[in-house]
Structure 1
């Protein structure tokens, strides 16, 4: 096989996608038009939620969610250290305090038992919310987190940026799709190019709570109200009022058109991701490589396919030498200099830190060919673990 760079992830843009964007470019609206609402409705239907709010990116989705839930300097919010920094940063944007709880070694997602222990060790009212992450596409059991949150009066933001199309099976045998709003107050998604649905940049917040939906719609557009029913005064059809401090976190019609087109093929792309994962699983099953295989009743979205190996740095370097650009997800957030400056210490999250020492994300995207995948597998198996 000729030397060719194989990334860990990449977008899949079809002619259908290109045609959809061209149509948007030649329409009357490039932004703040009807295509955004169409995308929101179709995405809400896809995950099974009542409402969806399209925003500029996944980080904006997190920030608006914490604002809508009134995070402030008195708030303490629990999340996982194995995530992209934005999951924790959104709490800091609102001057809240981030509290990390360790992960489960089997699933690499936030450990509900460790969160329960944290809550039990403090008086009720100490914490305001939990932000679990469907890391790599593995769906958190939100039913268990909801029961815990209800016991302590907490809200939940589900970070499902890795997991559109993922699901877990609840205690009644029902499949619960990430973002359907049954257990989480708000769920956030990302449409970055390496994600399942690519919009260049973009994000979405889903919810079943009408009050939160209305709040998010105002916050994403500067805190401005135009509906005459919500104005203190009304000078005419042009009049609007800014009632609170919001942001310009809107998505464009151009990006929404691309998102709608991408969404139409989401199920086919998911099938391909799962087929790639199965092939990796078979290849590595007897090689002594630790895999995060999904349990019974789990619909893994496979944004990432992660192995854990003892010689991670050597294997990473060897793969790059062979044109395979594997990646590491993630450096634990609590070890970042910013968070260490706030008092968080290395050694405080032993499971997360042990995972980080061995984790490696392999190429995982729908257009990865069988030949390319076999090449990746052969290079890994040729280098003892």
Structure 2
């Protein structure tokens, strides 16, 4: 088997497990915060948003830093550092005695993460250009599926073994990722004697900087949409359910429905993207997602919410692969790794802002306003993509008509 294919399989597994580990805590976060001594419902909503989202804003800050380190020492060392670090830190969360310790550990988790960043850079630089879109699309599917299937696992483990065991199991999964990476990832890295370019220098090398920026914005919005409801979905499910039994499990099912749909739809949307262009898939996905978020306001049962979350997964399955394909096509190979690092940073910031936005709006205005706000932002993003990307590309998806100064 070719090296890049084997590395892709390992990175897919590692990214999948990493995102499961980072996201399966979501449905149990409000319950765990209550267990740590916070009982006021409004404080639970607000602290849940902060505790969940703080990891991702710190990750967004450190992603370019770890990307720089990867350029100096290689991608495999970054994969090993991130996996063993998360194994230790997440396990310690199960031993927290109060919310302050929990939040501190969530911050530390954000500092040492970077597995997905290193995976994307490794695959982007090792894969032949003709296969790069497919490879990056596969890797994006692992990230999305892991982040959305994680809540189902977290909810199920809470029902079966209790809240603390979820953290210990997640730490065990990350330890498995560490050994898998150590044994099977192969990288012949040769450190370059050339000066590492500054962010300003990299930006000046981009042929279409404004288009790249819009893709970053779309990555940000994708994650914001997914995670705006995540910190308070347990509360929303409890409002919809007549019984208080199995709330964590049902909350996990609501989020994981989107992940299941993404796994089903992603390959077909990838083929469709090759035929009609990734920019058109992005546009339709953003519009569809915006409308589905509005519909979630009017559900009367948890089952109806789960159905709409499933449809949301279909609508957005092609977003991340389309973004990565466009980034790859318009980015010079010499700076591909750094640009993907910034794009993943946008994902992390979107996750933080989504969880913080959801928690704040829910605590001050009500949960239904979270859906209205998210829908409006997605539809505005769709308008931006239509005006600045779709209109700029011809029917053959050529980039010759784009000018860096006019995108």
User: If the length of structure 1 is used for normalisation, what is the TM-score?
Assistant: 0.29
| Greater strand proportion | 1
Relative CO higher for 1 or 2, CA cutoff 8 Å, sep ≥ 6? 2
Work out which of the two has the higher radius of gyration on C-alpha atoms and give 1 or 2.
Answer: 1
| Greater helix proportion | 2
User: If the length of structure 2 is used for normalisation, what is the TM-score?
Assistant: 0.28
